[in-house]
Structure 1
């Protein structure tokens, strides 16, 4: 039976990041036929060699995010914030960016939280250098993107925000950043910026900036007071808010960007955008942009060239789930997880909707195979945020990591089977098109319930095993170290563009080893509000050599027939030689 819901009086409401229909399915069981019921307990995992440990304290990272929780239950309190890896000092190891909120009226917050940068000291320890680096500013940050937009060899940092503007920090190359937001025109003022990505949309050799925007939320005056069944204040559903538009900013050089959202066709579509992934899905040499929306149709922006896009979400079957229901899309990633040269898109969703797992059938067509792949059922009772494909055990098959956490802090009082804090999920790729969830057998981080939001992955200790960085809503950040044994062989490739953008973002990297052909795209964006290691990482099992091919955005192709594995390499565009 249908349930009447008024935006100012939401019965059994559960907040931002939620699909309205999924919420109704949980509030009134039986109203959504075919929707599986949440499981009561997590089944035991099969034996796993994958093993992660929590290295946060040992690494010296002392951080707790501020979401400025208030009795008013402002929607912004539930949604952030993200994190990122960046080698800001070019010393060859990954440093850590952690994003923070800002004081809200009624929060009682007496301190001024700031954004954080932790320098990797190369010995398993990190040092807080936020103040001296110049990024210790106070604003309500959401997501971040890392990329060398001015091609000077130093990675820059963009941070999206809400209740003000985002910030663009240009890396000076001396350990400090300059805030060039106002001069560059990248602030995105008056909008709720979420995930963001650097992308060379016109393939002119410099990086443009794409910023996803959530709902119309110019100030706290745009928040809507909502109440649960017993009259207590609660976070509103996103359906109570108006959709916004994404922004595309063209890099004009000299710290100057021009908003081309309207002329590019991006602004023609309105949605409630949270996740962004960029890759060339049809392999025509132009980067395309997928946007995961929350309770509105998701977008696939097909690049037509000339900085023009057409939206193909519906025709590609990526706009809705298989029942025609919009995603509650938060986190997103894309990669060739089956080693057959075609992409798979993962989208995390609200409790009951299950994680979407779209396999590419042909260039413009995808199918959600979440049940057949073994992804759907284990995710049923979780509310997913950050997600990423990474080869945890270096066997040549990319696994899937998803971090979870509810958005309603009192959900356990309303729904006995629900929990505010939730465990992460780790799916091992079996190499036959299916996955099995192995979290409980993969180390202490997977047995700890947290309210996760951001997820970034990267080999921060340079031992050849991909690690993870996780943020929580109003809580600590976690740095997980991958200690999987046996330590199989691997290959890590850092790209340096010459005709293409300096980071090589958009380059397609193919590796052949041990009878497998693996393909990945060097990308900015993906996951939820976070920035991951841009080095192309491949697990190769026991193979001692591999064949490497890199197709650059410029069209240049570099081929190296025999590459030694268990090494980190650097490739400069057009040289055909590894350093």
Structure 2
């Protein structure tokens, strides 16, 4: 085991990695509630779409060796693909591509701008700059934590995690022309790891859950979760080290759902808006199991209105000895559930489902086989309208290396949501998403070529054909009678309090939740910017009504929006 940590990242539905959240791709955004358990209009859906993909990474231009001359001699030594992300990095509305290497020394990561038909040169080496104050160690950074706007300027920034509790914040400086390249540059600062990203003090700025690494210990920080954690409260300074901090978690209040399931040290198990926490019981060094991750059990503490915590007993987690590696509402009932993984970061999760009594989340948990859940959750999963039906399917990475895949094929399995609420599985052989299993594999859903079909950026084993050593792009060949619309909100950008909501209804029924065509998308500070495109499948309907509620409460409705329309909505019109 290295001193590296991959365990605590929260894969919300989809969540992901905070970076797994669909809102970071530019073509999605979190639904209003867990899963898509909202009333939804029936009918108007192609019952038999053809869902296949083709790997086009290299042919589309994902080639790290294609650099500007000013980058120097290309050297791919120590290449190890550790994730790929789609996001608009230069503000032109197209999804660009970022490839994270395991250790981001010059040349080995990749930043590729979308030119409409493919991707241009790799700008990573020339565009990433080290701050002279609080400089980073980019060679230490190795996995994406967050893709979004951390400085409130409407530009997309990056936060990476590294070894030994370190983190790196790279702030987008905007597009500029240079001698032999044009594009955004990024000024990077060294800091501590970022475990979660959300506004927790209600000022409209996205904050970062971090930890004190002055006496860092991997086991304490990521497995027993007994380290000293702190929230860095965003004050607008691009250097995160200048943000004030607080350890008084119980005094904070949760208004952003990304905070409600931030991490075991900070979550909202009973939906009262007051932070709770789960703390493992540490074991001696020589009694932590084969992976050095085991604890003697989990203790649950519920936050109280007076700013204290009260321990809750009889939760069903007291004998759970595996480290907590996921917190999310995996069954879509509105209550947070707990996922564990004995390896700490490589295997499919084991799940403890929170019991719901009436409308109340009871903060008691029952172990549930993965195969008994609505869809098989695997190692990571991503909510995505894979067929433009308006229903959120799940693209699931299943790992087979530890034998915990319940006989299912490893790789990307797509669980297509059906109108009745059940799922049907599309195997890797059927979808042709040949993402060979790797312990740091990932997906990044988004419509990279703007053809109305959701594609899958991603990375996996370095031998995947037509990829750059595992950095790939599976473009959708979806054939269906379902259609789509795309919405942009030019004024929902920068820092803001509250949330913006986009709702799509059947024509003539704007505001009637029984006639929602697809789950609404709710947008929070740090996860929305002016050029971001929100994609909605609308089934076989020829037109829909769109209603936007802006953060200040103003509403705008567009009636009769035709299928395949691209519309921009602003307050007042």
State if a TM-score over 0.5 links the two structures. Answer: yes
Q: Are 1:262 and 2:247 an aligned pair?
A: yes
**Number of the residue aligned with 2:98:** 97
For the residues of structure 1 that align with 2:477 and 2:271, how far apart are their CA atoms? 40
Q: Hey, what does 1:290 align to over in structure 2?
A: 261
Higher mean displacement: 349-358 or 242-251: 349-358
Post-superposition shift, 1:123?
A: 0.4
1:176 paired with 2:184, answer yes
Kindly indicate whether structure 1 or structure 2 has the higher relative contact order, using CA contacts under 8 Å at least 6 residues apart: 2
Structure 2 SS opposite 1:59: coil
Q: CA deviation at 1:465?
A: 1.5
Q: Residues 494 and 290 of structure 1: is their aligned pair in 2 closer, same or farther, counting only changes over 3 Å?
A: same
Residue number among 428, 431, 438 corresponding to 2:419 in the alignment: 431
Shift of 1:444: 1.7
Correspondence 1:459 to 2:447? yes
Q: How many residues align?
A: 455
**Map of 1:79-228 to 2, 5 A cutoff?**
81-102=82-103, 114-134=108-128, 137-163=138-164, 164-174=166-176, 175-179=183-187, 181=189, 187-189=190-192, 192-194=193-195, 196-197=196-197, 199-205=198-204, 207-211=205-209, 222=217
Question: Structure 2 residue aligned with 1:422, among 397, 405, 410?
Answer: 410
SS of the residue 2:59 aligns to:
helix
Relative to structure 1, the CA distance from residue 395 to residue 326 in structure 2 (aligned partners, 3 Å threshold; closer, same or farther) is farther
Inter-partner Cα distance in structure 1 for 2:419 and 2:351? 19
Query: Residues 406-421 of structure 1 correspond to what in structure 2 (within 5 A)?
Result: none
Match among 361, 376, 387 for residue 373 of structure 2: 376
Aligned to 1:284: none
Structure 1 residue aligned with 2:388:
394
The offset of 1:446, in angstroms, is 5.1
Q: Please give the TM-score of this superposition, normalised by the length of structure 1.
A: 0.62
The equivalent residue for 1:311 is 276
Give, in whole Å, the separation in 2 of the partners of 1:262 and 1:131: 37
Q: Is the 8 A contact 2:113 2:121 kept in 1?
A: yes
Residues in 2 aligned to 1:201 and 1:430: alpha-carbon distance in whole angstroms = 36
For the 8 Å contact 1:143–1:161, the answer to whether it is kept is no
Q: How do 1:335-350 and structure 2 match up within 5 A?
A: 350=341
Map 1:554-565 to 2 at 5 A.
554-565=552-563
Cα deviation, 1:294-347, whole Å, max 9, x if unaligned, reads xxx873289999xxx522776799x98889747755467779x98xxx758787
Contact 1:58/1:125, CA 8 A, preserved across alignment = no
**Cα drift, residue 552 of structure 1:** 2.9
Given that 2:269 and 2:335 are in contact with CA atoms closer than 8 Å, whether structure 1 keeps it comes out as no
Distance 1:250 1:345 in 2: 25
Match of 2:69 in 1: none
On the 8 A contact 2:389/2:537 being kept in 1, the answer is yes
Cα displacement (A) at 1:428: 1.1
Shift of 1:399: 0.3
Change (3 A) 1:161 1:353: closer
SS at match of 1:456: strand
1:541–1:326: structure 2 CA closer, same or farther, 3 Å change rule? Answer: farther
Deviation (angstroms), 1:571 = 2.5
* Partner residue in 1 for 2:61: 60
CA RMSD of aligned residues (A): 5.1
Supply the distance in 1 between the matched residues of 2:335 and 2:225 (Cα, whole angstroms): 30
Give the whole-Å Cα distance in 2 for the aligned partners of 1:126 and 1:434.
41
